[in-house]
Amino acid sequence: MRDLDERLDLGRMRDLRGRSAQPWIRRVLVALVAVPVALAATGAFGQSTSTLVADDGGARLQVEVPDTLRGGLLWRARIAIRAELDIKLPRIVLGSGWVQSMQLNTIEPAPQSEASRGSRVVLSYPELKAGNELVVYLQLQVNPTTFGKQDTSVEVDDETVLVARIPHVTRVLP
């Protein structure tokens, strides 16, 4: 024990003599790691949603969708349609960014049929009487290698006649 006491330099070990800069270097390194974590916690890197509304006379369309996402992120969207006039053959037409470089995991309620118009997905639902509302939830995941702008616009058609449209672009961070 006495041998150990003789080799122990209390000034260097306890008082940090000669090592006064080392604690500051550690603190700066911890702060560099903490800043991105704090920014992510405040939503600076995506997933905060925007509520967009189009009220074009035939229907009121409301879409909740993120403006910014990150690769690999699971996210959800909500599309609500309140018919102001009867819509005999309601179709929700999703922009190409909803499925291109995304995994569309769930659509609730399920559409009666699904089709495409070029790169856009068309979801068909039963007739909506004036005053009725259809709410559709989508759960998706961004492919990890995706980045850039994605067309997440939404249209409501009565078969092929445009009833309401919300243009939207979602930015995907790497």
* Domain harbouring 99, CATH code: 2.60.40.10
Together in a domain, 33 and 54: no
Per-residue pLDDT, 46:
59
Together in a domain, 128 and 165: yes
Mean pLDDT of the chain: 88
Number of folded domains that form the chain = 2
Per-residue pLDDT, 4:
63
Q: Beginning with the edge strand found earlier in the chain, give each strand of the sheet holding 161-166 in spatial order.
A: 113-117, 120-124, 90-94, 154-158, 161-166
Distance (Å, rounded) from C-alpha 173 to C-alpha 66?
12
Together in a domain, 37 and 62: no
Together in a domain, 121 and 93: yes
Together in a domain, 108 and 163: yes
Together in a domain, 17 and 90: no
The token pair at 25 is 């270097």
pLDDT (mean) for 110-132: 94
Q: Is 114 exposed, middle or buried (0-12, 13-18, 19+ CB in 10 A)?
A: exposed
Together in a domain, 65 and 10: no
Cα–chain-centroid distance for residue 172?
8
The residue range of the domain holding 13 is 2-41
Together in a domain, 120 and 137: yes
Does residue 174 contact residue 71 with C-beta atoms inside 8 Å? yes
pLDDT at 1 over 60: no
Together in a domain, 33 and 56: no
Together in a domain, 138 and 72: yes
| pLDDT class of 26 with cuts at 50, 70, 90 | confident
Together in a domain, 16 and 56: no
pLDDT per position as a tens digit, 137-169: 999 999 988 889 999 999 999 988 999 999 999
Distance (Å, rounded) from C-alpha 152 to C-alpha 29?
39
pLDDT at 12 over 60: yes
